[in-house]
Amino acid sequence: MATVVQPEPVAPPTYHDVTRDVAATIGHPSRGYFVLLGIVLVVLAIGASALLYQIRTGLGVAGYTPPIMWGAYITTFVFWVGIAHSGTLISAILYLFRSAWRTAVYRTAEAMTVFAVLTAGLFPLIHVGRIWYAYWLFPYPNQRQLWVNFKSPLVFDVFAVSTYLTVSTLFLIVGLIPDLAALREQATGWRRKLYEITSLGWQGTDQQWRHYTRAYLYLAALATPLVLSVHSVVSWDFAVSIVPGWHATIFAPYFVAGAIYSGVAMVITLMVPLRKVFKMERYVTVEHFENLSKLLLLTGMIVAYAYGTEYFIAWYSGNPFEQASFYNRAFGDYWWATWTMILCNGFLPLFLFFRKVRRSIPALFVLSLFVNLGMWFERFVIIVVSLSFEYEPYAMGHYTPTWVEWAILAGSFAWFFMWFLLFAKNFPTVSITEVKEIIPMPRKERAHA
């Protein structure tokens, strides 16, 4: 006779469980962790060597061929800035919407944001070649009394990306303070010293919370328009030029949606192994992944709609250069890049309409990798393919990234993962305080009832 086993109701974790479980993720790195860190450092060394080679030899070692003077570096810059966006979406925008599910995933997303901007910020410097003149990007008094051109979106970009890096770092640190205080009480040795210093004397007093909650609210309120502005500004780097394929008013919302789309995919890519290794299944549940995948579906459909609009407007505008440019995208030299982008970003996410896919963690993980790939190709298509096919047939060209560019691209992933791995073993990747906040505090009247 079959026995029916009633599943036991799962008790929500207590406050102490949360502190203990998150504290358990910190320290005691396994052999696997060191192996992973080792691989990451080797790849980083390869990327750094390629960069040193480029600095020593000159930008000629990259595959730039007129008229394609923006290539893999700018593609990768836009890719990483895009990745950064979902972190602030989850930590600031969903915070303002009082969306409770964000608490378990927001810290990972926010740390990812900071490290992605840190990675992205390197690429304009790598791209300009003479990296030692990078400070020319900023307005500073100099003997020629020259100032930067404030009418240029490239200067907007300098301000937007450096503001974004500063504000997202501040936001991450402020969020960490109460958690570090909780860890301080549990830790021993040098880590205790580290948390004593970084928790800034936090004790959770009524006065501290009074100022903290306000400050956090206003930081979120400032970060929300900031995140929307940053990728809009990045999109204007292209949209204000009269290059066919770039000169479109849809670019700002199209880029912002694409940024959040790629960022959510990266959060899934990072969260899946992290949850497994750190045994966080109790806090980061399938529901969280389902919510993330709904965000992925929504932004993916906006991106697909933007692809459609671009093609429609190219046809509807009656502009032969626009039409030729878009025909070239789909059927020209780079057709494979365009179709990779359309397949990964436009079609594969449609599987998320099925609840089974949304709730299958392996399926989501694989899908997130495809979205990451597709989003890199999207930027490649927009930048390289548009530049390769402008107005004059004699000024058309073909660009292929060289090994230096591929090595630096690989190095950028290593740089990103290095920061993330170091963060994950020394700081809480799941917010102790915010996870506690959604668990109701014990009440005496209920205990006695």
Partner 1 sequence: MSAHPSGLLAAYRHVDAAAGAIRSLKHMGYVDFTVYTPVPNHEIADAVGHPVSPVRLWTLLGGLTGCVTGFGMSMWMSYDWPLVVGGKPIGSWIPYVVIAFELTVLFGAGATILGLLYHSWRSRRPAAFDGRFTDDMIGIFVPCPVERRPAVEELLRSSGAEEVRVES
- Triad 330, 332, 335: Cα angle to 5°: 50
Q: C-beta of 425: minimal distance to partner 1 in Å?
A: 21
**Tokens at residue 371, please?**
């979205």
Phi-psi region of 273 (alpha: psi -120 to 50; beta: other; left: phi over 0): alpha
Name the residue nearer to partner 1 (CB basis): 31 or 211. Answer: 211
Taking the C-alpha atoms of residue 12 and residue 377, their distance in angstroms, rounded to an integer, is 43
Taking the C-alpha atoms of residue 284 and residue 103, their distance in angstroms, rounded to an integer, is 9
Within 317-443, where are the H helices?
320-331, 335-341, 355-358, 361-380, 386-388, 403-426, 432-437
With b meaning 16 or more CB within 10 Å and e meaning fewer, what string describes 406-423? ebbbebbbbbbbbbbbeb
Name the residue nearer to partner 1 (CB basis): 185 or 281. Answer: 185
Q: C-beta of 50: minimal distance to partner 1 in Å?
A: 32
Q: C-beta of 218: minimal distance to partner 1 in Å?
A: 4
Q: C-beta of 436: minimal distance to partner 1 in Å?
A: 5
CA distance between the termini of the chain = 39
Binding site for partner 1 (CB under 8 A): 14-16, 19, 139, 145-153, 155-156, 159-160, 163, 166-167, 170-171, 174, 178, 181-182, 184-186, 200, 202-215, 218-219, 222-223, 225-226, 229, 233, 433, 436-437, 441-445, 447
Q: C-beta of 216: minimal distance to partner 1 in Å?
A: 9
Phi-psi region of 11 (alpha: psi -120 to 50; beta: other; left: phi over 0): beta
Residue 65 DSSP SS3: strand
- Phi, psi at residue 141, to the nearest 5°? -70, 130
Name the residue nearer to partner 1 (CB basis): 196 or 290. Answer: 196
Q: C-beta of 20: minimal distance to partner 1 in Å?
A: 9
Q: How far is CA 12 from the centre of its chain?
A: 31
Name the residue nearer to partner 1 (CB basis): 129 or 139. Answer: 139
Name the residue nearer to partner 1 (CB basis): 3 or 203. Answer: 203
Name the residue nearer to partner 1 (CB basis): 34 or 147. Answer: 147
Name the residue nearer to partner 1 (CB basis): 97 or 209. Answer: 209
Q: C-beta of 151: minimal distance to partner 1 in Å?
A: 5
Q: C-beta of 146: minimal distance to partner 1 in Å?
A: 6
**Burial (CB count <10 Å: 0-12, 13-18, 19+), residue 49:** middle
Least Cα distance to 408 among 164, 153, 124 occurs for 124
Name the residue nearer to partner 1 (CB basis): 237 or 390. Answer: 237
Taking the C-alpha atoms of residue 178 and residue 321, their distance in angstroms, rounded to an integer, is 57
